[in-house]
Amino acid sequence: MRALPLLTRVFDVESREAPAALAGMLMFFLLFAGYFMLRPVRETMGVAGGVDNLQWLFTGTFVATLAALPLFGWLASKVPRRRIQGWTYAFFVTNLLAFAAGLALQPDNLWTARAFFIWLSVFNMLTISLAWSVLADVLSGAQAKRLFALMAGGASLGGLLGPVLGTLLVAPIGHAGLLVLSAVLLAGSAGAGIALQRWRDRHPPAPDGSAPDGEETRSKPLGGNPLAGATAVFRSPYLLGIATFVILLATANTFLYFEQARLVEATFPDPVRQTQVFGIIDIAVQSLALLAQFFLTGRIAQHLGVGVLLVAVPLMIAAGFLWLAFSPVFAVLAVVMVVRRAGEYALVRPGREMLYTVVSPEQKYKAKNFIDTVAYRGGDAVSGWVKRGLDLIGEHPTLAMGIGAVLALAWAAVGGGLGRWQHRLETGRAGRLQPPTAARTPS
C-alpha cells in the first residue's frame, strides 16, 4: 500500500500507527460526507421557517439535546465501551431511514422540515463528539498531538465531498434519497470505528502506562448512572473550564450564524440560490481546513502546544466581529464565516479534543458528551435569544458585533488557560505513570 509510506514520511506517522491513522480518517470522512450532504438542506429549511424564528429552532434543539443526554448516558453505562459508537450510530441510521420515509410521503411539510433541522443539529453533535471520544480512548496524548489533525483531515475531505454529492444527487434521488445514502455512509463510519478498536487490540498498551487501556478494560461497560457526565463536569474545575470554552465558542458561532441568515436572506431571496451559497461556503471552509490539518495543526500542537490551537481562532474572530461592526455586508460576513469555521475544524476542534486525553474513560465519553451537546446547545439557545434581543434594540448590528468581540476575547483567554492546564496534567501524569524502575499493569 503506497499510502502507508506516504503517511510515515510526510505526516510523522509511525509505521505501526498507519492503519489506525487511515481508519480514523475513513471514520471521519464517511461521517462528514453524510452530514455535509444534508447540511445545506438544513440551512435552507431554517431560513424557510423565518429568520425571526431561528431562536425557537435553537431552543428546540437544546430541549431535544436534554432529552437525548440521559438516553446516551444509559447506553454508555450498559454497553461495553468499545461498542458505544456502533450502537449509537445504528440508532441514528434508523432515524435517517425514518426521516427519508417521511420526506418521501410529505416532501413539503413545514413541521417535518423543522423537526429535521432540530434532529440534524442534535445528530451532528452526538456523532462527531462520539467519534472524537473513540480517538481519545484508543490513542495516547503523544499520539493525539501527531495524529488528531491528520485524522480530522478525513472530516474535511468528507466535508468537501458531501456538498458535491448533495448538489449532484438531489435532483435524481431527491431529499429522501440523500438521507438513505447518508445512512449508508454513517454505517460505514461505524465500521471504521470498529477497525480502530481492533487496531488497538493488536497493539496493546505499553506496560509503563503511557498508552490507553487495553482490550479487556475497553470491553467492559463504563457503569455509573445516566447523568454521571453532568455531575462529573460540575465536580471538576478542569471540565468546567472546557465547558466554559465550549459555551463561549457556541455563543460566537451563534452570533455569526444569525448574522449569516439575515444577510443571506437579504442578499439572496431565492431558496435555490441560498442553498448554493451555503454549499460554496462549505467547500471553501473544508478546502482551507484540509490544508491546515494536513500541514500545520500537528506541527503547531507538537512545537507550540495545545494552547496555541485554542487561542488563535478566537483572536481572529474578535477581529472579525469588529470588522462586521463597521462593515455589515455579506462579503465581509462570508470571509469571517470561512475563517471561523475553517479555523474551528483545523485548530480549535483538534486542540479541544486533545484536552480529553488526560481524563478518565468515563469522562471521555459521558462528561465529554455532556459538554459537546448540552453545554454547546445551551450556549446556542441562550445566545440565540440574546442576539435576537439585540437585533430588536436596533437594526444596525454594531452593538451585537461589539459584544461578540468581547466574548471572543474571553473565549481566547479561557483557551489559553486550558492549554497550560492540559500540559501540566499531561506532564504530571507521565511523571507519575513512568517511574524509573517499576512498571504499571493496565487496569
Which residues lie below 8 Å from residue 421, measured CB to CB, with a gap of 6+?
Answer: 238, 241
Confidence (pLDDT) at 413: 95
Which of 163, 328, 349 minimizes the C-alpha distance to 260? 328
172 assigned to some structural domain:
yes
Grid cell listed for 243: 465547558
d(CA 427, CA 314): 26
- The verdict on residue 442 lying in a domain is no
Determine the pLDDT at residue 116: 83
Q: Is residue 132 part of a domain?
A: yes
- What pLDDT was estimated at residue 51? 55
12: left (phi over 0), alpha (psi -120 to 50) or beta: left
209 neighbors 434 (Cβ within 8 angstroms): yes
- How many beta carbons lie within 10 A of that of residue 264, not counting itself? 22
Determine the pLDDT at residue 247.
Answer: 93
Continuous H helices in 203-270: 215-218, 228-235, 237-267
Is 443 inside a domain boundary? no
**Domain presence at residue 4:** no
Domain count, the chain: 1
Q: With the CA atoms of 414, 416, 421 and 427 taken in that order, what torsion angle do they form, in degrees rounded to the nearest 10? A: 160
Q: Are 411 and 314 in contact (CB under 8 A)?
A: yes
Largest CA distance in the chain: 70
Counting Cα atoms < 13 Å in the Cβ hemisphere of 63 gives: 8
**CA-to-CA distance for 412 and 426, rounded, in angstroms?**
21
What local confidence, expressed as pLDDT, does residue 1 receive? 47
The answer to whether the beta carbons of residues 384 and 55 sit under 8 Å apart is yes
What local confidence, expressed as pLDDT, does residue 383 receive? 82
Cell of 286: 473544508
Tell me 299's DSSP state.
H
**DSSP per residue, 3-58:** HHHHHHHHS---GGGHHHHHHHHHHHHHHHHHHHHHHHHHHHHHHHT-GGGHHHHH
Q: Does residue 252 sit within a domain?
A: yes
Neighbours of 216 (CB within 10 A): 11
Residue 122 lies in a domain: yes
C-alpha grid cell, residue 187:
454505517
pLDDT at position 248, please?
93
State residue 145's pLDDT score: 74
For residue 429, what is the domain's CATH number? Answer: 1.20.1250.20
Assigned domain for 439 exists: no
Residue-number span of the structural domain to which 163 is assigned: 11-433
Give 10-residue mean pLDDT values along the chain (443 residues).
Answer: 55 76 92 86 61 69 80 79 88 92 78 81 85 82 75 82 82 84 94 90 61 54 65 90 93 85 77 71 79 77 84 94 88 89 86 85 81 82 77 70 91 94 77 34 28
Total residue count of the chain as it appears in this document: 443
Sign, Cα dihedral of 129, 130, 131, 137: positive
